[in-house]
Structures are given as C-alpha cells and as structure tokens.
Amino acid sequence: MTRTGTSRPHVVVIGGGFGGLAAVRSLKRANVDITLIDRHTYNTFQPLLYQVATATLSPGDITWFLRAIRSTQRNVRFVRGTVVEMNHDERVIHLDGNVAVKYDYLVIACGVTANFFGIPGAAENSLPLYRRSQALALRDRMFAILEDSAMNDGDRGLHMIVVGGGATGVETAGALAEMRNIDMPVTYPEIPLDNVQISLVEMSPNVLGPFHPSLRDYTVQALQKRGVTLRLSTAVKEVRADGVLVEHEGAQEFIESAIVIWASGVTVHPSVAEWGLPQGRGGRIETDENMRVGCFANVFAIGDVAVNPDDALPQLAQPALQAGHHVGKVIAREVAGKRAPSAFRYKDKGTMATIGRASAIAQVRGLPRLKGFIAWVIWVAVHVASLLGYRNRIVTMTNLGLKYVGWRSHNAIVGETPYVASRTPKVIDSNSPSVTPSSSKKDKRATRAPRE
C-alpha cells in the first residue's frame, strides 16, 4: 500500500511527541499537506509518567489522542506505523504492514529509549519509566507485591530501588516515599512501614546534577526527610531478578530488591542506524543550525534524537518544542518562496523538579533560584498548562489537588494486581492484622513527613 499526498508539498513528521507536534502545528497555515506517523495513537506527557506509576494519575490523564489534532488543523492526517526503512533517493518511508509514505519534506522527531549502558541484567530485570506501558507495569507490579505482603501479615517486605538521580529518579523516589508515609498506614495497615524501603542509587556524588549546589542540597535533605535512602557515588554493576549489585569506593555489595526502577538515561533506538543518516554523539542524528540533516536539504531531525555537533542541546521538552516550531517555520517559508529564517537559537526558560507535596526546586529564567512551596506551585502550574487538551488539564489538576492539597484521598488509581507468590494457609478473623482497626488520628499525624 502506498500513501501519497496531493499536488501540494507533502511533509512527513515521524513522532507525535513534543517536537513532532510542534512542527505539525507550526505548519497549520502553510501551503502543505502533512502526514504524522507514530507507532502509538496517542501522545504521552512523559514528565508525569511517574505519577501514573505511583497511582496518583490515570494513564488517560497524561495521554492525548493524536488524531484529535484534526479538530483544529485539517491539513494533517495521522498514520499509525513503525518505520522499517528509509529511501532518501526516492523520498519514501517504508512502514510495517507494507505501507510506503512518499515525502517532499521529512521531519524526524521519534524520540529515544531507555539506556541500560550495557549493564548485565538491567534490560531484563529492571523497569524503565519512559512509556505509558512501562509506568503501568511498574504500578501493577508494586501493588501486586503489596497485596501479597498484606496477606502474609507484612512479613514479605518491599524494597524498591530507583537507579538514577536525575529529575525522573528524584521525583519517582519522592512520590514512592510519600505513598509509603501517608497512604500505606491507612490502606495497608498490615504492613509495617519499616518493611517498605525506597533507595535511590546514583553514580555521581550528586542528585540533579544540572541544578545549583544549593538546590541539590535541598533535594537531598527533602528526600532524606521522607525516608529515602540515598546511595551516591555508587555504580550499578548488575541487576538481578532479586536485587542489584552495586559498587561504592571499590567495594561491591548486593542489595535485595523486589523492584528496580531504571531512570538512568536515554539513548537512540538501534533502528535509527538503519535509516541512512549521519549519526554523532550517542547515536543521535547530526544536524546543522537549522536542524537539517547532513547533505539532505529536505530532511530535518529535532528533539532527543537529534544533535548539532557545534551546539548540543539538553534532551528536554523545551528544546524539542522550540526546534519543532523552528523547523516548521523553515519549511513554510521555503514552500512560500520566502527568505529562510535566521539560525535556530535555543532560549533556556529554566528547569525544575519536584520531590513531593509542597516541595520542589526551580531554576527559572528571570527569577531567583526557588525551592519549597513556591517552586512546587510553579511546577504544578507549568506541567498542567503543558498538557494537551482541556480535559487532560482539568482531570490532572483535580487528581493532583485531591492527592496533594489535603491528604484526604487515599484512593490509588490501580489496575491488575496478579499474584506474585503462593499463599500459605490462613484464617482471617477479628484478631488478624488484616482487619486491625485504623490508627488513631494522633498516630496518623505521626506518619506524615516533616514539613519543608
């Protein structure tokens, strides 16, 4: 099957993430036809995936139906598919299912995938947190283990290790710790809190390396107040089904763990090497100052999958958004016969990370370094505003509000919880821990993390 455009120039965009959608939308009024290709029918707001994994948000809260873009932009159509081959001489993209897509302009914005750095067992035994399915897999496994532990009077504890001290790792560890400290005394009274441990392992001596030292210090203190065990300057040597082998100052130690969460970096998918494009550092597609790829005047690459050797950008949402808008502008002007815009310049608007309720850090352009409640309010506002679609924004704001504003809701958003171990014979009666009355209000207050 072959898909072709009309007599107007045909722009093909591969990837419905931040950069891909930015490019599509910037071509809304251009005299072109656009085909958006993605292997999923939805866009995932990755910065909030950890909230799905920790049962605060539903996956539908942070995903957006890609075909919905036609409600405001009729010069675009969507094709679900995975790229299997590119022929740049004939300007054809081959997808799975025997689909060929011809293009006049090609924009590659396919993103990246989890990087396991060749560590033995990491790919097989850890749970990455980069796709919606991975967040759901982590959530379901966590609650399956908790249910099994509750049925066994909490004897089977749960140790979760987060590998990686970047924003994803810190935010996930903080959310897990607050779930243990705030929710579990109510929802899992059978499990002693000491039997649920959260550790964060980071190879460098600091968490959140790109941030100012004062903000990094605040993050360490906030995590420790929540009971997260920090193992800094510690390298993961192997991931096994029952834990992690780490090394610190030349000494190796095996840490038992039921769940290993991998948040230690990203890399280009191996299939990119088969697309006939120049690759640079980390396998990323090399571009010039206008995101053009090598000698291909009609091929562009943006976002995490792309790199300008002379001006490498961070693999974050803002660079992808700005690059997508710029590429759309370049194509629109070229099609209209107008002068090309000036070279792309990234405007760093800052970065932020949250540790938990009323606790975050922010380096925002034009503002002093922020931490605590004010930074957290900004973090919430920016993330909610960045979601696609009003329904997503309203539902996400509601769920985050119920979770964080008053601590009054312990209603975790759960899915399938398969059995993870065989149960021993047991009789539940009024004296069983499974039906122990809830703690008093005084006891419940004692479980709260100290205020920042």
Active site residues: 171
N-term to C-term CA, the chain? 59
Pair of tokens at residue 108:
């590659």
CB neighbours (10 Å) of residue 250?
Answer: 5
Pair of tokens at residue 384:
């909610």
Pair of tokens at residue 178:
């607050």
CA 125 to chain centre: 19
**Backbone torsions φ then ψ of 192, nearest 5 degrees:** -60, 135
Pair of tokens at residue 404:
């964080």
**Secondary structure of residue 101 in the 3-state scheme:** strand
**C-alpha separations of 337 from 90, 221, 258, 312 in Å:** 23, 57, 60, 30
Element (H, E) at 322: helix 317-335
CA 50 to chain centre: 7
Instruction: Please say whether the dihedral angle defined by the alpha carbons of residues 210, 215, 217 and 221, taken in this order, is positive or negative.
Output: negative
CA distance 142 to 145: 5
Pairing of strands 259-262, 158-163: parallel
**Secondary structure of residue 383 in the 3-state scheme:** helix
**Backbone torsions φ then ψ of 129, nearest 5 degrees:** -135, 70
Compute the CA torsion angle 155, 156, 161, 162 (nearest 10 deg). Answer: -100
**C-alpha separations of 56 from 388, 408, 412 in Å:** 18, 13, 6
Q: Check if the beta carbon of residue 103 is closer than 8 Å to that of residue 9.
A: no
Q: Check if the beta carbon of residue 238 is closer than 8 Å to that of residue 121.
A: yes
Q: Where are the alpha helices (DSSP H) in 179-249?
A: 184-187, 213-225
